[in-house]
A and B are shown apart, each in its own frame.
Chain A
Amino acid sequence: MPELVLGIETSCDETGVGLVRGTTLFADAVASSVAEHVRFGGVVPEVAARAHLEALVPTLRRALGEAGVRRSDIDAIAVTAGPGLAGALLVGTSAAKAYALALDRPLYAVNHLAGHVAVDTVEHGLLPTPLVALLVSGGHTSLLLVDDVAHTIRTLGATVDDAAGEAFDKVARLLGLPYPGGPVIDRIAADGDPAAIAFPRGMTGPRDAPYDFSFSGLKTAVARWVEACEAAGRPVPVADVAASFQEAVADVLTAKAIRACREHGVGDLLVGGGVAANSRLRTLAEQRCAAAGLRLRVPRPRLCTDNGAMIAALGARVVAAGVTPSALDFATDPGLPVERVSL
């Protein structure tokens, strides 16, 4: 029987604890501090770190309860070592080290981004290889070529400025909508016309890096458009702006992902990260993959946002691959590149 892996995730504002055995999800407990960040319009690192300290042990207890297992049933512990917020990461890794030491179990310090890929194993089974992964969240936007999620991942491209999710937050703010922007824009865009305004598609010129992204120009274009509208004394067609903005994001993300699959001869695309919960991105990815003859994997929205199950799922792959456990003195790395799946 495969090992029961405990996964601990504290890279941003979600305290996540998951339990996975092989590709079976046993528990996925998450405590979010998002409500505490709302009034600041974004994640405040110190607020997030304080919340992790309070929430971690109770969340772990909840996960054990969900799974109906005891601490002694845990065979291995995986924890996010990066990338993420420094102070937040240290809460999770310190807890994981203490559990590993106290329970005398191997510890695996793993990569958050690889976790967003590996989490799909608990929904759709083992990953095909190779695989192109499009990871989009509030902190990351990257295209990855995944040969083996346990140890061999290469970055094809990434955002050169804002992450896609960050653009959603900023546009929401421009439109007077609450933080976080992703869910609210998705909802309001449903009543708008995605073709109403032709917002720019960043980094899509012939001389631009084919797999890199840029969303800061798009955000500025939306700001200018909204301000021009206000200056002219016209009411801002919020639903149309939201739908047209969302269309621009989904268009660029999916076009580049499909191109990456085609140019690397890869038949499978995975879309993960919090922005993968966006309905337009999911629909457009489905349509374009079908048209291009690609198989698409998108975890359910609950597994796309940050959680402990993704780290447990990645831990399960790393353990199965026979990777050497991490030493108790490993250091967190807020800028950990995805190429380093484990430390």
Chain B
Amino acid sequence: MLILALDTATAGVVVGVVEVAAAARVLAECRTSGVARHGEALAPTVAAVLAEVGRRPADLDAVVVGVGPGPFTGLRIGMISAAAFGDAVDIPVYGVGSLDAVALGLADAGGTTYVVTDARRREVYWARYTDGRRVDGPHVGPAQDVRDALAEQPADRVVGAGALLYDLPGAVAAGATAAGLLAAAVPKLGQGPPEPLRAAYLRRPDASEPRPRVPAVPR
């Protein structure tokens, strides 16, 4: 089974091609970081990664995509690309938590892990994992929320760009990987048709209803 894995829930894009037989093997992967520009980078990266392994879109059996949480505009680029790609070649598209893909991509996920990414607006997206299983979150909130959680539930590791940005104790860099995306999807693969993709926005759109004006038309 050949799988295309995508994630655009952070400042970079993650694209990988994974072969799943008895065990999963990442055939090729490209991860960018820093500047956002997902809309420009993603499709050429998918093309390059497929070319690297000498496979065509029609050779793929499924797409796995991170559904967030993550900054909205970038997140949607990965999700709609996955949905369109899957529709074009008529293969299932599985959504997985983007923070889960970080936790499950770690070489060692034993014990307690916090994944903390940048949610902008002085906030982070975060979740807590025990032996690679999500036990709290995902949440969006100030970094102080993570500090409070850490005080109650100490961590074996705190990872992600948000952890570094807010200088959380013991913070190390880590991001979603193709292997992590696949590991998050494994329980869903081959379990019938996937559920419709739903973005984990965690925030409502910024919009306020206008102040009511006294209507000129008598009612």
Which A residues fall within an 8 A CB radius of B? 39-41, 44, 46-47, 49-50, 52-53, 56-57, 60-61, 71, 86-87, 90-91, 93-104, 173-177, 226, 229-230, 235-236, 238, 327-332
Given A47-B205, A104-B57, verify A91-B76 contact (CB < 8 Å): yes
Hey, which chain B residues are within 8 Å of A230, CB to CB?
Answer: 214, 216
Q: Which residue of B lies closest to A43 (CB)?
A: B207
Residues facing A in B32-61 (CB within 8 A) are 37-44, 46-47, 57
Q: Given A56, A101, A332, which contacts B80 in the complex, CB threshold below 8 Å?
A: A56
Is B199 in the interface zone, CB < 8 Å from A? yes
Given A49-B72, A102-B57, A177-B217, verify A94-B47 contact (CB < 8 Å): no
Complex Cα gap A60–B82 (Å): 15
7 other A-B residue contacts (CB within 8 Å) besides A103-B88, A176-B213, A176-B216:
A47-B205, A53-B79, A87-B76, A94-B39, A97-B81, A98-B84, A238-B216
Hey, which chain B residues are within 8 Å of A103, CB to CB?
Answer: 57, 88
Q: Which residue of A lies closest to B216 (CB)?
A: A236
Q: Given B42, B44, B57, B199, which contacts A53 in the complex, CB threshold below 8 Å?
A: B199
Which of B79, B209, B214, B217 counts the most chain A CB atoms within 10 A?
A: B217
Q: Given B44, B87, B214, B217, which contacts A328 in the complex, CB threshold below 8 Å?
A: B44
Q: Which residue of B lies closest to A46 (CB)?
A: B205
Hey, which chain B residues are within 8 Å of A41, CB to CB?
Answer: 209-210
Complex Cα gap A50–B83 (Å): 14
Q: Given B37, B77, B84, which contacts A57 in the complex, CB threshold below 8 Å?
A: B84
Is B215 in the interface zone, CB < 8 Å from A? yes
Is B166 in the interface zone, CB < 8 Å from A? no
- Cross-chain pairs A/B with CB under 8 angstroms, 25 sampled: A41-B210, A44-B206, A47-B205, A49-B73, A50-B72, A56-B83, A60-B84, A71-B87, A94-B84, A95-B83, A96-B84, A97-B43, A97-B81, A98-B85, A99-B84, A101-B47, A101-B57, A101-B85, A102-B84, A102-B85, A235-B218, A236-B217, A329-B43, A330-B40, A331-B39
Which B residues fall within an 8 A CB radius of A? 37-44, 46-47, 57, 72-73, 76-77, 79-85, 87-90, 199, 201, 205-210, 213-218
Q: In the complex, are the beta carbons of B217 and A93 less than 8 A apart?
A: no
Hey, which chain A residues are within 8 Å of B90, CB to CB?
Answer: 71
Complex Cα gap A97–B84 (Å): 9
The binding surface of chain B is classed by DSSP as helix
Interchain nearest-CB distance for B201 vs A (Å): 7
Hey, which chain A residues are within 8 Å of B209, CB to CB?
Answer: 39-41
Q: Given B73, B79, B207, which contacts A86 in the complex, CB threshold below 8 Å?
A: B73
Hey, which chain A residues are within 8 Å of B73, CB to CB?
Answer: 49, 86-87, 90
Interchain nearest-CB distance for A13 vs B (Å): 13
Interchain nearest-CB distance for A220 vs B (Å): 15
Given A329-B40, A331-B39, verify A91-B201 contact (CB < 8 Å): no
Interchain nearest-CB distance for B115 vs A (Å): 24
Q: In the complex, are the beta carbons of A87 and B72 less than 8 A apart?
A: yes
Q: Which residue of A lies closest to B39 (CB)?
A: A90
Complex Cα gap A91–B40 (Å): 12
Which of B37, B39, B44 counts the most chain A CB atoms within 10 A?
A: B39
Q: In the complex, are the beta carbons of A47 and B88 less than 8 A apart?
A: no
Interchain nearest-CB distance for A146 vs B (Å): 29
Hey, which chain A residues are within 8 Å of B40, CB to CB?
Answer: 329-331
Q: In the complex, are the beta carbons of A95 and B57 less than 8 A apart?
A: no
Which of A41, A102, A235, A327 counts the most chain B CB atoms within 10 A?
A: A102
Hey, which chain B residues are within 8 Å of A47, CB to CB?
Answer: 205, 207
Which of B37, B77, B84 counts the most chain A CB atoms within 10 A?
A: B84
Hey, which chain B residues are within 8 Å of A87, CB to CB?
Answer: 72-73, 76
Q: In the complex, are the beta carbons of A173 and B210 less than 8 A apart?
A: yes
Q: Which residue of B lies closest to A330 (CB)?
A: B40
